[in-house]
A and B are shown apart, each in its own frame.
Chain A
């Protein structure tokens, strides 16, 4: 029972954050919906753990919680990859700006 309370409190906190971010126009509607669905799933799993047990049996994994951890890891790695790509693009964009500033007066310097 305690786990449900902890998870619910955390989900309420996390959901309130993302709604606040949406209201301040820091995140898109898509991101809002995505995160609300994620937190909804987390709540669902906390209250009806046998849901994931059924999912586990479907994937041939013995325990429901293991399936959650596996998927969590995959999702995390994917997000890190996405973040990496994004940062790399930003870095390259910064270089483009720095380069165009450096080259601005080239004809006068020759």
Chain B
């Protein structure tokens, strides 16, 4: 099975190298970095590691980067694409858990949920995530325990069907919507979240969260 790891990266020169190294060490050599218009050395770091690098000429946001990565995975005709955050918050061992249900043919999309076992996640993060889940459910009608997770697996079928249109953080909920609309089989598996000051600073602040929420509502009205 051809597996690719898609890593969206925006100004992640500090952590990207380590993330790519640990992925290689874990046996994942087919890596694709989407450099989302970074202004730091992200491009150079990625190129130095000899992975596929796709460069956005300008910053488009997480949704834009994920959309490009998944589109590329589709064009490369991979069997499974895994999205993996560049900030170092995911553990490489968890990829296996995300792959398994797809490899066994039991699921089309797998979400690595940080909240099935939320140990170590600060309480305010848990609360934010809960609000995110609730809004995703209210707007798109599918309950997941971690709608905002960055570690996900997509089967070939899912890659063919899921269409990403949004540009920013609301993409997480859009993916859930696409799962529902396309009647894909979803599975959640518990994963560990590695919270460092760095990865925390990279997540959604309350302000961004409120903006995302507004966008989601508008998104619902638009489509």
Contact = CB atoms under 8 A, between A and B. Distances in A.
Bind each other = yes
Interface of A: 84-85, 88, 91-92, 94-95, 98-99, 101-103, 106-107, 109-110
Given A102-B54, A109-B53, A110-B52, A95 B218 contact: no
Contact of A106 (B54, B63, B64, B218): B54
A84 B68 CA distance: 24
B127 interface: no
Interface residues of B, number: 23
Nearest to A97: B57
Contact of A110 (B60, B68, B76): B76
Contact of A94 (B60, B68, B71): B60
**Secondary structure class of chain B's binding surface, majority of residues:** mixed
Interface string B140-177: 00000000000000000000000001110000000000
Nearest to B219: A88
A105 to B, nearest CB: 9
Main secondary structure on chain A at its contact with chain B?
Answer: helix
22 contacts: A84-B218, A85-B222, A88-B222, A91-B167, A92-B167, A95-B63, A98-B57, A98-B60, A99-B56, A99-B71, A101-B56, A101-B57, A102-B55, A102-B56, A102-B57, A102-B68, A103-B68, A103-B72, A106-B52, A106-B72, A106-B76, A110-B76
Contact of A98 (B56, B75, B222): B56
A88 B168 CA distance: 11
A70 B34 CA distance: 48
A84 B35 CA distance: 27
Contacts of A95: 60, 63-64, 67, 167
Interface of B: 34, 37, 52-58, 60, 63-64, 67-68, 71-72, 75-76, 165-167, 218, 222
Contacts of A102: 34, 54-57, 68
A109 B75 CA distance: 12
A63 B68 CA distance: 56
B54 A103 contact: yes
A6 B57 CA distance: 49
B76 A99 contact: no
B68 A99 contact: yes
Given A99-B64, A110-B76, 8 more contacts: A85-B218, A94-B58, A95-B64, A95-B67, A95-B167, A103-B68, A106-B54, A106-B75
B56 A109 contact: no
A101 B72 CA distance: 12
A85 B220 CA distance: 12
